[in-house]
Amino acid sequence: MDPNHSLLFVALLVLCLAVNGVTGYATVTGSVFCDQCKDGERSLFDFPVSGIKVSVTCSDENGQVYMSREETTNWLGGYVMRFDGTPDLSNCYAQVSESGAQQQGSSSSCSIASGPAQKLKLMFSFFGFETFAADVLLTQPVQPMSYCPKPPPTPVMFPPQVPIIPPPRQALPPPEVKLPPSPPKPQVPLLPPPQAPVTSPPPATSPPQFKLPPLPPTPLVPFVEPSACSHQLWMRPEYRCYWRVIGPDTKVAVAFGLIAGRRYGTDMTVREALDGRGEAYKTLLREATTALLNSYNSLGFPYNSIAVITHTNLALLGNSQHDVLMTAIRFIKANSGTCKFTICK
């Protein structure tokens, strides 16, 4: 899509919202993971936790709480809160509620809140509509899992031992002993030393040569810096090596879940979703699919994969043209950044 056409499309959407008298609101998104190894950070052994209560609390300069809200994580471990109007969320923090974590109730489940509260970060602002995100929150089990790596044992330090040196003794002069004269030694004829047989060394042989198989190509590592590519670039064959987790033939119902499957059918593929245009729901699916691919490919993309799926399903559940259009606008803005693609070899 031409950049001028994109700006015109966004301007028309804003005009429609203004005519309908739509007011702004702010959303807060995040996720909760189970810290199975109790190491205080997210690792390969951790997984998202559902049914955990998360609270967002806002305080003024004196520490007085002027706004607070709770939400429960969904089956993907994510949570979304909506604040109507234009509230000031610049000094708000998200954390796992103590009562919300304890409701798990099993010694093998993540039932203990862990880690500090995370401050909300402004990710998107557009005509009174704002999106905030918080870093990953952690919960812990009572005991770490048996397959977690064990910490190295702490070495025991012993004080150095000082050797005890006895005082020197006063040396006594040795007694004088007179030896008798030794008898003369008999003359022994000298014989030539025996000659050792000379043997030639064995011929040198070179070790057998082993030919190593060729190494497989190194997989591409996700970009650490932000990278946002449009749906036109994702459809080009020279960038096919950047597809991760999902492929062009992956079904939309598999990538986004049952809610999207009911709306778009179980046969639509991701490649077909990138061609969507002409109406709000097709535009939402196109930009959501592009945002999902960018989230898998760049660690610095404004939305992670869980947030993309959650926002898309919430817009579809609302059955509101307003929610669908606003979600599509957010994804269009996020997908309009700098693309780090290079031609695949």
Domains of the chain: 24-140 (2.60.40), 231-335 (no CATH)
Q: What is the dihedral of CA 245, 247, 253, 255, to 10 degrees?
A: 20
Could you write out the DSSP letters of every residue in 61-112? TTS-EEEEEEEE--TTSEEEEEEES----TTEEEEE-HHHHHTT--TTS--E
* Rounded-to-integer distance, Cα 76 and Cα 92, Å: 24
Q: Specify the pairing of strand 53-59 against strand 65-72.
A: antiparallel
SS3 (DSSP) at 55: strand
What tokens appear for 153 in the block?
A: 């044992």
On whether the CB atoms of residues 71 and 54 are closer than 8 A, the answer is yes
- Per-residue pLDDT of the chain (345 residues), as tens digits, is 555 555 455 556 555 555 555 567 888 999 988 888 888 887 777 888 888 899 999 988 888 888 888 999 998 888 999 888 778 888 899 999 876 555 544 434 776 777 788 999 988 787 777 889 999 888 888 888 776 777 666 666 766 666 666 666 665 666 666 666 666 665 655 656 666 666 666 665 655 554 544 544 444 556 677 889 998 899 998 988 888 788 899 999 999 988 888 889 889 999 999 988 878 899 999 999 999 998 988 888 989 989 999 999 999 988 788 889 899 999 999 999 889 888 988
Could you write out the DSSP letters of every residue in 265-315? -SS-BHHHHTT--SSHHHHHHHHHHHHHHHHHHBTTSSS-HHHHHHHHHHH
β-pair partners for 137:
32
On whether the CB atoms of residues 137 and 115 are closer than 8 A, the answer is yes
SS3 (DSSP) at 176: coil
Burial category of 313 from C-beta neighbours within 10 Å (exposed 0-12, middle 13-18, buried 19 and up):
buried
For residue 202, give the DSSP letter: P
Predicted TM-score (pTM) of the model is: 0.43
Q: Which amino acid is at 306?
A: I
Q: Specify the pairing of strand 121-126 against strand 65-72.
A: unpaired
Query: Can you give the pLDDT at residue 339?
Result: 92
- How far, rounded to the nearest angstrom, does the alpha carbon of residue 18 sit from its chain's CA centroid? 39
User: Of 307, 306, 317, which is closest to residue 263 (Cα–Cα)?
Assistant: 317
Q: Specify the pairing of strand 129-133 against strand 92-96.
A: unpaired
Query: Can you give the pLDDT at residue 108?
Result: 43
| Other CB atoms within 10 Å distance of the CB of residue 163 | 4
For residue 148, give the DSSP letter: S
Q: Specify the pairing of strand 25-34 against strand 129-133.
A: parallel
Q: Which amino acid is at 272?
A: E
Query: Can you give the pLDDT at residue 58?
Result: 93
